[in-house]
Amino acid sequence: MRTETPIATRPFRGLVAFFWTETLVQLHEELAMATSMVVQGVLLVFVYILNPALIGVALVGAVLFSVFSMGQRVLNEAAYIRIDHKASELYLAGPLSPEAYFVGMSAGVLAVYLPPVIVVGILAVIVAHLTAATVLLLAGLAAAVWLASASIGYVFSTAFKDNRAIWAYSSLFFNVFGVLPPVFYPFRLFPEALHPIALLMPPSAAAALVQGAMGAASLTRGEQTLAVAGLVVETTVLFLFTIYWARRTVRER
């Protein structure tokens, strides 16, 4: 017999409590924490060996790729709670609102995995001689990339019914869209015909804007507009859709 899950009337109700819950859960994932920067480290070494002059660009890319890959962690965590533990129904049966569940989970993942990203960011500031304005730009763009990737990860998590299928598809998606486009290397080295596509992908759009600010890329006014507009619109639409989707999936239980 189907039972309806009560839905909190106040938006984001229980956000702080679930944020701390998720943070404590993530702090017990020692292996995941220890290996969170392995891909970034390998790519940084690869870039340094091939062309040490590009290490500043690669460090900036490592920051953006790190926050983008947190969407994969949100995807894995949301699916794990829902499929293996069946705990999502327990969480959402109480006063916790669906949007607070999504944002609290994403923010908890961010809080635990952010410290090494900050270290890489400091290295980027030192090595690439980033100005205060560029640092603020990088921080703002990284926040937008994180919000977009967390939204994608949460929505995608609801499409899976078996955790074994998640690891392959989620890794493929986030690594392909975070590594192949010009994130770890200069935007000018990406095929010119594909520039519009790269500027519509959150991580590479953010990387191109930061590279332009630090003098590593020369973007036309149209490319700058496309990157900024695309990132703002995509992040906003994805976040709002994820809130809607979170509420809808609760109603369908």
Integer angstrom CA distances of residue 165 from 13, 85, 152, 172, 185:
32, 17, 17, 11, 31
211 within some domain = yes
Instruction: Indicate whether 235 pLDDT > 90.
Output: yes
pLDDT at 1 over 50: no
Is 114 among the domain residues? yes
| Domain containing residue 185 | 15-251
Tell me, yes or no, whether 247 lies in a domain.
Answer: yes
When divided into structural domains, the chain yields a total of 1
For residue 206, CA distances in Å to 60, 74, 177, 187 come to 10, 21, 13, 11
Averaged pLDDT for residues 50-78 = 93
Is residue 6, in this structure, part of any structural domain at all?
no
pLDDT band at 134 (very low <50, low <70, confident <90, very high): very high
109 part of a folded domain: yes
9 assigned to some structural domain: no
Q: Would residue 37 count as lying in a domain? A: yes
Establish if 5 belongs to a structural domain: no
